[in-house]
Structure 1
Amino acid sequence: MKYAVTLLLSLLPLLANALEPGEKLAPWTLLDQHDQAYSLDAGTHILLVARDMDGAKLVKAALAEQPKGYLEARDAVFVADIQRMPALISKLFAIPAMRDYNYRVLLDREGRVASRYPGQEGQVQWLQLEHGALVSQRAFADAVALQAALEQAARH
């Protein structure tokens, strides 16, 4: 019985973060790799969230050959949770390297935004939005599949 109670209590944070279709996402603002602010708004249709470096590498691989403005053309934004990255590493190496990317990376330095959305490490969470409300969500663990989904999003 103690085991069941402990298990249930350990799952509560995950259940509390569960988003339901139709639920409106709380607004937030993050800075990108160029220190430019971006606020989630009703015009965002795709929210990509990477909780760790492996997830961010999937996005990087999926967007490797894409032109500048590729995500913006799909009304998509990418949030990278970098809270576990040592500050010195992010400041001296990681963020300067991101400035060369052809896409915008919204940097969640404290993990306050990415933690609002369900998802697993090593994956990219895709939240499909309409007027700021969740329509559907899915996860990608493969860059090719993510790239194909982004291509499909351009056709809609």
Structure 2
Amino acid sequence: MRTWRFWVLFLFAMPGLALALEPGQRLAPWTLLDQFEQPYTFNDDLQVLLVARSMKGASLVHAALKEQSEGFLEARKIMLMADISHMPSMISTLFAIPAMKGYSYRVLLDRKGRVAPRYPGDKEKVLWVMLDHGRFVGQREFDSEEALKDALQAKSK
């Protein structure tokens, strides 16, 4: 009887677990709205997914992109996802999302924490997920504006 309860609890908890991605693994599809309420659906064209899980990570990305022109990320087949599920909805609605509307880049908002946990990494760093036709290739983490800026510039070559 105990074993049965364990497996039931395990299966219910499983969707919330962040499992390591394996090279060559096809990523599950998802759709998120950006700061303008426009949908984006994960597709095979995406080459890099940046994941910011905290204010520190989001600030790092913003600092690395502040001098870039509009369309910089999209031209390089890069998308930015911000996990704002931990943010109180009043704060996100009144302050954070309106501020993001002034950015020169698109921010996909994971409001419920359904998608970002699929990509394991340090919460305080920016995760760089490398993709090839919808398949996981590898990942890097950044905790420095300069290192992220250098990686973005190298991606543009």
TM-score (norm 2): 0.88
State the 1:76 CA deviation. 0.3
Corresponding position of 2:59: 57
Deviations 1:59-112 (CA, angstroms, capped at 9, x unpaired):
101101000000001100000000011100110111001000000000000111
Write out the 4+ residue segments of structure 1 that deviate beyond 2 Å after TM superposition.
12-16
On the 8 A contact 1:81/1:114 being kept in 2, the answer is yes
Residue aligning to 2:113: 111
Deviation at residue 136 of structure 1 after TM alignment = 1.1
| Cα displacement (A) at 1:14 | 9.7
Change (3 A) 1:138 1:55: same
Q: How many residues align?
A: 144
Distance 1:57 1:21 in 2: 29
Which residue identity is paired with 1:21? P
**How is 1:120-131 mapped onto 2 (pairs within 5 angstroms)?**
120-131=122-133
Aligned partners of 1:14 and 1:118 also within 8 Å: no
Determine the structure 2 residue equivalent to 1:66. Answer: 68
Distance 1:42 1:61, change over 3 A: same
| CA RMSD after TM alignment | 1.6
Partner of 1:25: 27
Alignment partner of 1:37 out of 27, 36, 39: 39
Contact 1:51 1:119 in 2 (8 A): no
Name the CA shift for 1:13/1:39 in 2 (closer, same or farther; >3 Å): closer
What is the aligned-residue identity percentage?
57
Counterparts in 2 of 1:136-147, with a 5 A limit? 136-147=138-149
SS in 1 for 2:154: helix
> Does the Cα contact within 8 Å between 2:16 and 2:117 map onto a contact in 1?
no
| Residue identity matched to 1:104 | R
- Aligned twin of 1:8: none
The structure 1 residue matched to 2:87, chosen from 71, 82, 85, is 85
Contact 2:17 2:117 in 1 (8 A): no
Residues 13 and 142 (structure 1 numbering): CA distance in 2 closer, same or farther, change over 3 Å?
A: farther
Distance in 1 (alpha carbons) for counterparts of 2:43 and 2:61: 22
Question: What one-letter code is carried by the residue in structure 2 that aligns with 1:22?
Answer: G
